[in-house]
Amino acid sequence: MFHYPFDPSSLAETARIWWNLYGYYLLLAIVIGTAVMTLLVAIPLAYRYKPGSHNPNAKDEIKPGEIPSERGRTAGVLLIAVLLLGVFFGLLTQSLEATKEFKKIELNGEIPDDALVIQVIGFQWGWTFRYPNGVETDVLIIPVNRMVVFNVTSEDVFHAFSIQDLRVKIDAIPGKYNIAWTKAYQPGIYRVQCYELCGVGHAEMITKVMVVTEDVFDFWYNSQGATLEEAMEEAAHTEG
């Protein structure tokens, strides 16, 4: 039922931003991680203790009761710090760039006119999705290629609303309305799940989102509460 596509970044605009940024981080993580790990393994092997080669009277040998001398060149230390700072600064600019896009609704303080705004209400243990036309469902239905804004809250405890495949996540907090958005690119069915421990039913606080074509969505939306199957049939009928 829930297929995992080949290119996860093509699923939605939010997924695209996420995977793009993730690529930068992963690349640097692998480069730096491998370099440091290599040193960590290679140095102890290269400088293994060998009876003949070690001079126990060397000037900076560790000796009982003697505080070891300070060691290391300032330049070398600075170089390391600057290198690390550079890397993190690079990542940071990428991250802030992505954040501007990702959090644009919060940052700009306005929801685009053509966006579909769905109210998401978490409760122990399930979700209610309320559409602008007043229809309420327990399965999320959204159109492709249109910005969908989730206005998320909770009726009881702290939950977290998430469509993990589309990289949507925001906490559902009682008394508070939080905003998340996405723009899906491919019809399909994805998992919607709660990501914050909310009691014994937490593991089962799971439902699905159906991303459908704009036509199907419009039929469904205008049918005022029909199931999606009925709407799809209707759509096929009218066209046929």
Partner 1 sequence: MAETSSLKRWLMTTNHKDVGILYLVTSLYFFIVAGSLALLMRLQLAVPENNFLTAANYNAAVTNHGLLMVFWFLSPLGFAFANYFVPIQIGAKDMAFPRLNALSYWLLLFGGLLVLAGFFMPGGTADFGWTVYAPLNTDEFTPNPGANLVAFGLLMLVASVTVGTVNFVTTIALLRAKGYRYTQLPMFTIGILITVLLMLWAFPSLQAGLVILGADRLLDAQVFSAPEGGAILWDHLFWFFGHPEVYIVLIPALGAVLDIIPVFSRKPLYARKTIIISLIVAGILSYMVYAHHMFMTGVPTFYLEIHSLTTEAISVPFGVITILAIATMIGGAIRLSTPMLFALGSIAVFIIGGITGVFNSSMVLDTANRGTYWIVGHFHYVMVGAALFGLFGAFYYWFPKMTGRMYNESLGRLHFIISFIGFNLLYFPMFLLIDMPRRVFTYPEWTGWGPLNFIASVGAFIFGLSHLIMFANFLYSMKKGPLADNNPWGSWTYEWLIDSPPSEFNFDGIPIVSGNKLSIAMANGASHSHHEGDHYSIWPFAISAGPFLALLGLGMMVAGVSGGVPLLALGVIVSLVAVIGWAREDYKEKFHDLEPLEVKETWPFQGISKYKLGMWVFLFGDAVFFAGLLGSNFFVRANNPLLPSGPEVKNLIVGALSTIVMIMAALGVYIAAKAARLGNSRMALQGLGMGLVLGISFVIISALDWIQTFSQGFTLENPAIATGFIAVFSHLLHLGAGFIPLIYFMIKIAAKGIRGAMPDAMDALSLYWSFLALVSIGIYAVLYLF
Window 138-197: residues binding partner 1 (CB under 8 A): 156-158, 160, 162, 164-165, 167-171, 173-179, 191, 193-197
Residues 6+ positions from 217 with CB-CB distance below 8 Å: 141, 142, 143
- Give the nearest distance from C-beta 143 to partner 1 in angstroms: 22
Check whether the bond before 125 is cis (ω within 30° of 0).
Answer: yes
CA distance 183 to 166: 9
73 backbone dihedrals φ, ψ, rounded to 5°: -95, 135
Stretch that binds Cu ion, among 1-9, 169-177, 200-208, 217-225 (CB under 5 A): 200-208
- Give the nearest distance from C-beta 141 to partner 1 in angstroms: 20
Nearest to 228 by CA among 215, 239, 216: 216
Does the protein bind partner 1 through residue 236 (CB under 8 A)?
Answer: no
Between 168 and 184, whose beta carbon lies closer to partner 1? 168
Residue with tokens 């997924």: 15
Between 33 and 187, whose beta carbon lies closer to partner 1? 33
Site residues (CB under 8 A) for partner 1, limited to 84-103: 84-85, 88, 91-92, 95-96, 98-99, 102-103
Site residues (CB under 5 A) for Cu ion, limited to 157-196: 159, 194
Helix, coil or strand: residue 30: helix
Q: What angle, rounded to 10 degrees, do the helices at 13-46 and 74-102 form?
A: 160
Structure tokens at 161: 């609303």
- Give the nearest distance from C-beta 147 to partner 1 in angstroms: 17
- Give the nearest distance from C-beta 28 to partner 1 in angstroms: 9
- Give the nearest distance from C-beta 74 to Cu ion in angstroms: 31
Amino acid identity of 236? A
Q: Which residues bind Cu ion (CB under 5 A)?
A: 159, 194, 198, 202, 205
